[in-house]
Copies of this chain bind each other. A is one copy, B any other.
Amino acid sequence: MEKIGIVGAGLVGSLQAILMAKKGYDVSIFESRPDVRKAKLLAGKSINLALSDRGWRALQAAGIDGDIREIAIPMYQRCMHALDGSLSYQKYGKDEQAIYSVSRGGLNQKLMNLADQYPTISYNFDRKCTDIDLKTNTLHFDNTATNQEEKHSFDKVFATDGAFSAVRFRMQKTTMFDYSQKYLDHGYKELVIPANEDGSHKLDKNCLHIWPRGEFMMIALANMDGSFTCTLFFPMYGEKSFDTINTHEKVETFFQKTFPDALPLMPTLLDDYFENPTSALVMVRCSPWNYEDKVLLLGDAAHATVPFYGQGMNCGFEDCMILQEMLEEANGNWNGLLGAYSKTRVPDGNAIIDLSLMNYIEMRDLTANKEFLLRKKIEAKFSNLYPEKWIPLYSQVTFSHIRYHKVIENGKAQNAIMEQVMQLPNIEANWDSNEVMAKMLELAN
A177 within 8 A of B: yes
Judge whether A109 is part of the interface by a CB distance below 8 angstroms. Answer: no
B181 touches A236 (CB 8 A): no
- Give the Cβ gap from A346 to chain B, nearest Cβ, in Å: 13
- List A residues 161-209 near B (Cβ within 8 Å): 164, 169, 172-173, 175-183
Given the interface pairs A164-B173, A173-B164, the reply to whether A181 lies near B183 with Cβ below 8 Å is no
Question: A181–B177 contact, CB under 8 A?
Answer: yes
A280 at the interface (CB under 8 A from B): yes
Selected contact of A176 from candidates B173, B177, B180, B280, CB within 8 Å:
B280
Distance between Cα atoms of A56 and B169 in the complex (Å): 38
Given contacts A164-B173, A175-B280, contact A181 B180 (CB under 8 A): yes
CB pair A172 B178 closer than 8 Å? no
Residues of A in contact with B, size category: 10 to 19
Tell me the smallest distance from the CB of A347 to a CB of chain B, in Å.
Answer: 16
A161 CB to closest chain B CB (Å) equals: 14
In the assembled complex, the CB of A41 is this many whole angstroms from the nearest CB of chain B, namely: 23
Does A181 lie within 8 Å of B181, measured CB to CB?
Answer: no
Q: Measured between C-beta atoms, what is the minimum distance from A173 to chain B in Å?
A: 7
A53 to chain B, nearest CB (A): 32
A238 to chain B, nearest CB (A): 13
Cβ contact of A183, chosen from B169, B175, B236, B280, cutoff 8 A: B175
Query: A178 contacts B181, CB within 8 Å?
Result: yes
Please indicate the chain B residues that have their CB under 8 angstroms from the CB of A177 in the complex.
181, 183
A306 nearest CB across to chain B (Å) = 14
Name A182's closest neighbour in chain B (CB-CB): B178
Inter-chain contact A236/B164, CB cutoff 8 Å: no
Complex CA distance for A177 and B182, rounded to whole angstroms: 7
Q: Cβ of B182 and Cβ of A181 under 8 Å apart?
A: no
- How many whole Å from A251's CB to the nearest CB in chain B? 22
Rounded to whole angstroms, the CA-CA distance of A172 and B236 in the bound complex is 18
Cβ contacts under 8 Å, A236 to chain B = 176
Task: Considering the complex, give the chain B residue whose CB is closest to the CB of A280.
Answer: B175
In the complex, chain B residues whose CB is within 8 Å of the CB of A164: 173
Across the interface, do B178 and A183 meet the contact criterion of CB distance under 8 Å? yes
Do the beta carbons of B172 and A181 come within 8 Å of each other?
A: yes
* B-chain residues with CB within 8 Å of residue A172 when the two chains form the complex: 181
Q: Cβ of A280: which chain B residues have Cβ within 8 Å of it?
A: 175-176
A103 to chain B minimum Cβ distance, whole angstroms, is: 25
Q: How far is the CA of A184 from the CA of B175 in the complex (A)?
A: 11
Contact A179 B180 (CB under 8 A): yes
Min Cβ gap A115→B in Å is: 30
Instruction: Please give me the residue from chain B that is nearest to A278 by CB atom.
Output: B175
In the bound assembly, the distance between CA atoms of A176 and B178 in angstroms comes to 19
Question: Which of B173, B175, B180, B183 is in CB contact (< 8 Å) with A180?
Answer: B180
Q: Which residue of B lies closest to A173 (CB)?
A: B164
Q: Which residues of B contact A182 (CB under 8 A)?
A: 178, 180
Query: Which partner residue on chain B sits nearest A279 by CB separation?
Result: B175
A169 to chain B: which residues have CB within 8 Å?
Answer: 169
Q: Separation in Å of the A190 CB from the closest CB of chain B?
A: 17
Closest residue to A180 on the B side, CB-wise?
B180
Q: How far is the CA of A164 from the CA of B182 in the complex (A)?
A: 18
Would you give the shortest CB distance from A220 to chain B, in whole angstroms? 26
A47 CA to B181 CA, complexed, in Å: 29
Give the CA-CA distance A180 to B350 in the complex, in Å.
14
Residues of B within 8 A of A183 (CB): 175-178
Q: List 10 A-B contacts (CB under 8 A).
A: A164-B173, A169-B169, A172-B181, A175-B183, A176-B183, A176-B280, A178-B180, A178-B181, A180-B180, A180-B181
Q: Give the 9 A-B CB pairs with smallest separation, nearest first.
A: A180-B180, A176-B183, A175-B280, A178-B182, A179-B181, A178-B183, A176-B280, A178-B181, A179-B180
